[in-house]
Amino acid sequence: MSEILEKLAVCVEFGKVNKMAPYPPNMKDQDGADELTKLALENNISAKSILEEALVAGMEKVGKKFAEKKIFIPQMLMSAKAMNVAIEHLKPYFKKGEIEQKGKFILATVQGDLHDIGKNLVKMAIEGSGWEVIDLGVDVKPDKIIDTLKSNPDAYVGLSALLTTTMGNMQNTVEALKKESPYTKVLIGGAPVTGDFCDKIGADFYSPDPQGAVVYLKQQAG
């Protein structure tokens, strides 16, 4: 890996957005993800290499640390900001087809639930691993997810619930999805959700953290 990509991966791992950003303190006045992504493109490093060797590599370390409780939500969010700044520079290359995304992932917080932090962390982790995420937001009815799935039939679906009172809506959503499209893989998560609940409602995978979902999708994609 080139020195530029190594530095960019470190910026994503530690949440260094740009040169002006004060966080993290030990990287003050150093170039961040914004400047280094521009520099990489100017040095004719391919967008695919930037994505896979810097952004994905950095996010894998972030996800592993979060799963091991070595970092927490604020640090994850800073890494997300750094990654998103870099991704903005790569979007034209996605549109041209120079970067092939691994697949599509429809993401939603279930009907009746307005919490989005967990959903947003999953979105960041999965986007950072090279997938296109279709984020439907919060309080999403099953019909909206089904309509989106009809337009993206090969997509995976991720559902979040952060309240015990909305777990019933998660079950209803999974049942509706499986009735409409039995072979669609449905991933679930959220504070009150468990592996036993996943089995009970007929979902395909449960993870207590975003990295578990990333690993599962990586296995599915081969």
Write down the pLDDT at residue 63: 87
Please state, in angstroms and rounded to a whole number, the distance separating the CA atoms of residues 122 and 198: 17
pLDDT in tens, the chain (222 residues): 589 999 999 999 999 999 999 999 999 999 999 999 999 999 999 998 999 899 989 988 998 898 899 999 899 889 989 998 999 999 888 777 777 788 999 999 999 999 998 898 899 889 888 899 999 999 999 999 999 999 999 999 999 999 999 999 999 999 999 999 999 999 999 999 999 999 999 999 999 989 899 999 989 876
What are the backbone dihedrals phi and psi of residue 37, each rounded to the nearest 5 degrees, phi first? Answer: -65, -45
Secondary structure letter of residue 135 according to DSSP = E
Taken as a whole, the chain contains a residue count of 222
d(CA 126, CA 132): 8
The residues near 215 (Cβ < 8 Å, ≥ 6 apart) are none
Instruction: Give the pLDDT confidence score for residue 1 in this predicted structure.
Output: 55
Structural domains of the chain sorted by starting position, each given as residue range(s) with its CATH number in brackets: 3-96 (1.10.1240.10), 104-221 (3.40.50.280)
Tell me the two tokens of residue 213. Answer: 């979902």
Residue 77 is inside which H or E element, if any? helix 73-96
